[in-house]
Structure 1
Amino acid sequence: MHKYDVVKNYILSKIKSEEYLPDQRLPKDDEISELLGVSTITVRKAMGELVNENIIYRVRGRGSFVKGKPSIRNSSSQNLVTFLLSTNDANDSSYIRIIIGIRRYLSQVGYSLIVENPGEDPARERQAIDKYLDSGVAGYIIYPSNPELSVENFRYLKDKNIPFVTMDRYAKYFPTNTVVCNNHDGAFSAVEHLISLGHKKIGFISEKFYLSSEKERFEGYTDALHYASLEVDDELLFLEPKVDYDRLIKAVKTRKITALFCVNDRRGLEVINAFTERGIRIPQDVSIMGFDDYEASKLSPVPLSTVKQHFEEVGYWAAKMLLKTIENPNLQFSKMMIGCQLVIRKSTAPLV
């Protein structure tokens, strides 16, 4: 079998299992390349053949998409689970790993997976719920963009006695079965490492501070400081969606900040780029720590130290929790935390 056949068979299996639905954008060529261990040239050859076979189509500047019309009723609806991935960045490699984890468990128990990407609009999320509810799916795994805005959708499913599990984040005032990363302890270990390098002026940068995951990471940050008998300085906190780089860069240049804990790798990589453009050296002038361990983090011009989330395990256990809920509807309000791991690269260094 040629290597490009491996890629073709992988894509075809995802389409057949309806993990990739009609008009859904496929992962980027480089993501498939890394996932399957083949070159991007091989991926492009496989994609070209799939285009020629009228299975997918390409849109310049946007990527590859599945061709055809959905037909979910061809499968046994009682053995179908729907994953609602409510994000505008569904092709991020972390989400692909979550899906792999979900499918790994479902395949063991004879279930198939449908992936739906309603974006970040709760109304579209509700439409997706109804779409598959009419088909009699067994339950839902939901990755909500903002759980607080999705509460009515959760209530809707609860009132209809439809099993569902949330993932990564949750609404504090509406209990659900959920699987999350151990955000607090991961953040604690990250900040503790920075302190061990001699840093005492450690800033915190969030992105979407309304999320439970970011609040838990903030608590880990503050607890690590308190454990080291360090005060939490409000001047070192950047909690707005848009970073105030003028204030941040001034704090770095005046040594009011010598290290930063960024709430996720996306923010960490953004900060690295912003600092590099302004002549700030990493880690000589400031150490930077992220959270998640995105694929891009180790490929950054300054590889990012971070906390690794085991995304595939989060997906696996979310699927397992859902199946337990399907088998026992009285099982509710379970919260499972998946461990994480500190990964040290070149963006952190001892304080000089």
Structure 2
Amino acid sequence: MEPKYKLIYQTLKNKILSHQINVGDKLPSENQLAKEYSVSRITSKRALTELENDGLVSRQAGIGTIVQKDHLTEIKNEILFVIPFANNAEFGDYTSGLLEVFNEQQNFQITTVTNQKFRNFPLSRVNQAKGIIYYVESLTNDLKVITKLFLDKIPIVILDKSFDDLPIPSVTCDNFNGGKLAATTLLQSGLQKLAFVTNENSISDSSVRSRYFGFLSAVQDQNKITPVLFNIKDHDISTLIADIKVKKVDGIVAQNDVVAIRIMNQLHQSGIKIPEDVSIIGFDNIQASTLSYPALTTIEQNFVTLGASAAKLLLQLIEAPKQDIPSQTIIPVKLIKRDSDKS
């Protein structure tokens, strides 16, 4: 097992190099890190010492650990992890999976960078990387960038979504069976009118579309049940409640937990009880799903396993570019039963 100090060290290092922590910022103390990671103070101290050895921070008694540089003099074997947005609490913990794999290798450095910042990188900066793991936010918006990387023969693995006609390996959760499992769970409760709810235009993304098709496959043999698809606009779901009442929807599968929780909040405001009047199931099992009222039943995708699988595929591409790599790796999902459905 990887020493715990390395996880703390690599996590802080990545945040500094990706500018999530800026030059001049003060890092948490040894005691704070020890408490956060459930380790001894000696372990957290060693992590900070490693950062000092890299020249990224300076440590002074009575002052603390201050970031003094946001780059290494020479980055060897850099892996770029491209994500849609920074500092978002609802973004899955893929990084732990990446670290599990790359910490076992020598001289690999993960740099996390937002999609927007990555697009402004000069070509020389991109070519410097040994490989790229690219979390796709939108197939439409990211297609041009992904295609350019592919044509430049840069080792790349796509995370979360896939391009069916482009031979780039991808790692996704089992979205189809996740949608099917969610709908089946509601059907087993005897519900009669199910709806699948997405953000406007999200249905065009492969991951959400697969969840919807899985949802449909579960209800196709139920002759008395006609499924409903709701596309809601961001920050405006008030009209959804009226549609739920008119169409007598008693079960909802949301494209993800964020959408599910927004719906639940609106249902509460409208006096509709969960799950007595409407059952609801989300997708992802983010931390907020445990804190909602009632606690959200959801389909869990294992973010750590997804990250580790993407890292292993990328290493294969780096070590043997011409070998046959599976076009799509699908990681199983599971139902996390809580209180928002009747089953």
Bin for the TM-score computed over the shorter chain: 0.7 to 0.9
* Structure 2 unaligned spans of 5+: 23-27, 49-58
- Residue 126 of structure 1: which of 102, 105, 119 is its match? 119
Q: Where do 1:138-149 residues align within 5 Å?
A: 138-149=130-141
Map 1:219-238 to 2 at 5 A. Answer: 219-229=213-223, 232-233=226-227, 236-238=228-230
Q: 2:212 aligns with which of 218, 222, 228?
A: 218
Letter in 1 for 2:331: I
Q: CA RMSD in A?
A: 3.1
CA offsets per residue over residues 47-82 of structure 1, 9 Å max, x none? xx9994252xxxxxxxxxxx443324433x2x3211
* 8 Å Cα contact 1:83-1:113 kept in structure 2: no
Partner of 1:174: 166
What does residue 339 of structure 1 align with? 332
- Aligned match of 2:252: 260
SS of 1:81 mapped into structure 2: strand
Deviation at 1:105, TM superposition (A): 0.8
| Contact 1:172-1:212 at 8 Å conserved across structures | no
- Paired letter, 1:153: V
- Matched residue SS, 2:207: helix
Q: TM-score, normalised by structure 1?
A: 0.78
Question: Which digits, 9 at most, give the CA deviation of each residue in 1:118-146, with x for residues without a partner?
Answer: 24x4xx43224736425x22100000221
Aligned counterpart, 2:85: 88
Cα distance between partner residues in 1 of 2:37 and 2:19? 23
% identity of equivalent residues: 25
* CA deviation profile, 1:87-108 (whole Å, cap 9, x unmatched): 235432543x200001101112
Aligned to 2:64: 53
The one-letter code of the counterpart of 1:328 is A
2:99 pairs with one of 80, 90, 103 = 103
Structure 1 contact 103–112 (Cα < 8 Å) conserved: no
Of Structure 1 and Structure 2, which has the larger fraction of its residues in helix? 1
Matching residue of 1:3: none
**TM-score w.r.t. length of structure 2:** 0.80
Structure 1 counterpart of 2:94, which letter? I
Aligned residue among 100, 112, 117 for 1:116: 112
Q: Return the alpha-carbon distance in structure 2 between the equivalents of residues 194 and 12 of structure 1.
A: 44
CA pair 303-148 structure 1, distance change in 2 beyond 3 A: same
Q: Distance in 1 between matches of 2:168 and 2:287?
A: 30
CA distance in 2, matches of 1:229, 1:338: 31
- For structure 1, the 5+ residue unaligned runs are 1-5, 56-66
* Contact 2:176–2:213 under 8 Å retained in 1: yes
Contact residue 205 and residue 262 of structure 1 kept, 8 A: yes
Question: Residue 214 of structure 1: SS of its match in structure 2?
Answer: helix
Q: Is 1:14 paired with 2:11?
A: yes
User: Conserved in 2, the CA contact under 8 Å of 1:305 and 1:348?
Assistant: yes
Q: Does 1:305 align with 2:297?
A: yes
Q: CA deviation at 1:238?
A: 1.0
Distance across 1 between alignment mates of 2:110 and 2:277: 47
**2:51: which partner in 1?**
none
- The whole-number CA distance in structure 2 between the counterparts of 1:336 and 1:129 is 31
Partners of 1:251 and 1:159 in 2: how far apart?
Answer: 46
* 2-structure distance, mates of 1:92, 1:98: 12
Cα distance in 1 for partners of 2:71, 2:305 equals: 29
1:20–1:115 CA contact under 8 A, matched in 2: no
Q: Which residue of structure 2 lines up, in the alignment, with residue 62 of structure 1?
A: none
- Could you list the per-position Cα deviations for residues 207-260 of structure 1 after superposition, in whole angstroms to 9, with x for gaps in the alignment? 222221100101011111114345544xx3112443764443224335610010
The separation in 1 between residues aligned to 2:103 and 2:223, in whole angstroms, is 49
Asked whether 1:137 is paired with 2:138, we answer no
Q: Residues 322-337 of structure 1 correspond to what in structure 2 (within 5 A)?
A: 322-330=314-322, 331-332=324-325, 334-337=327-330
Question: Which residue pairs with 2:341 in the alignment?
Answer: 348
Query: 1:153–1:315: structure 2 CA closer, same or farther, 3 Å change rule?
Result: same
- Say whether the 8 Å CA contact 2:238–2:266 is kept in structure 1: no
Candidates 198, 201, 205, aligned match of 2:197: 205
Spell out the pairing of 1:52-71 with structure 2 (5 A cutoff): 52-55=63-66, 67-71=67-71
Amino acid at match of 2:69: K
What secondary structure, in the 3-state scheme, does the structure 1 residue paired with 2:204 have? coil
Please tell me whether the aligned partners of residues 19 and 114 of structure 1 are also in contact (alpha carbons under 8 angstroms): no
1:249 aligned partner, one-letter code: I
Amino acid of the structure 1 residue aligned with 2:102: L
Rounded to whole Å, the distance in 2 between the matches of 1:149 and 1:72 is 31
